Structure 1
């Protein structure tokens, strides 16, 4: 079987750049685009649960990734999973038998990086495969 590349996306321009970079670096690879659902804000509509909002936003992010792939003449597999982002991404490496991870850097610095950490940094430390971080 050929190379499999995992590309976690969060809707940022860095994750879009990471997907484009994955296409360039691995032109013949199977590409799996992953979005990890994390509830990070309360919806303005009390009828919508925070989880439903996060899932809907995740589906929209994955649809954008599929459109970017199509614009590059590529097809991708997509997956929406709930969980802690770094842990879930590392688990997805095994689940998809990925050979490489390409992901964006959110560019946090200073106190927010110390307090919140960096998903890319945590994945890089825990990953059993090589990780390319795109800025």
Structure 2
């Protein structure tokens, strides 16, 4: 069976580096590129009901952006002679990435990272770090410069 690879993609330079890494290193695998529109679904609260129109506009704008970004990813992959699947999800990115990986038999996640450290990482958070810590599948993070780091649950078990 062909291994399955997930590449979360947002058209940032680190995401582009991750896609390039995936296409160069894992071209024979089944590659899915995932764009996550960053927002929570309305929860039915009064506040959310009042904001429904704004929410729907944000969703439409996000879907148009996703279409553009994913078309660019398909064209880029075609340059490598690789056909990819593309998918759009809606919600918190780290959560949706992990849910998709675990619910669809993904063997590895390859994603970009800005490589923040210290205070900026604490204040801004890191989607790649949250995915690495929350996922039960292997995660490879790629910096814009092409440096990459592989992480898996087995690594954690050996260091604990």
Question: Smaller-chain TM-score range?
Answer: 0.7 to 0.9
In structure 2, the gaps of 5 or more residues are 40-53, 144-160
Give the Cα–Cα distance (whole angstroms) in 2 for the partners of residues 106 and 81 of structure 1: 22
The Cα RMSD (Å) is: 1.7
Residue 59 (structure 1) aligned with residue 63 (structure 2):
no
Give the Cα–Cα distance (whole angstroms) in 2 for the partners of residues 70 and 6 of structure 1: 17
Which structure shows the higher helix fraction? 2
4+ residue stretches of structure 1 with deviation over 3 A? 107-112
In structure 1, the gaps of 5 or more residues are 40-45
Give the Cα–Cα distance (whole angstroms) in 2 for the partners of residues 6 and 115 of structure 1: 27
Give the Cα–Cα distance (whole angstroms) in 1 for the partners of residues 16 and 107 of structure 2: 20
Q: Paired residue for 2:2?
A: 2
Q: Paired residue for 2:98?
A: 90
Residue 133 (structure 1) aligned with residue 141 (structure 2):
yes
TM-score scaled by length of structure 2? 0.74
Q: Paired residue for 1:13?
A: 13
The alpha-carbon deviation at position 49 of structure 1 amounts to 1.9
Q: Aligned residue pairs: how many? A: 128
For residues 110 and 56 of structure 1, do their structure 2 counterparts lie closer, same or farther at Cα, with a shift above 3 Å needed?
farther
**2:6 partner SS:** strand
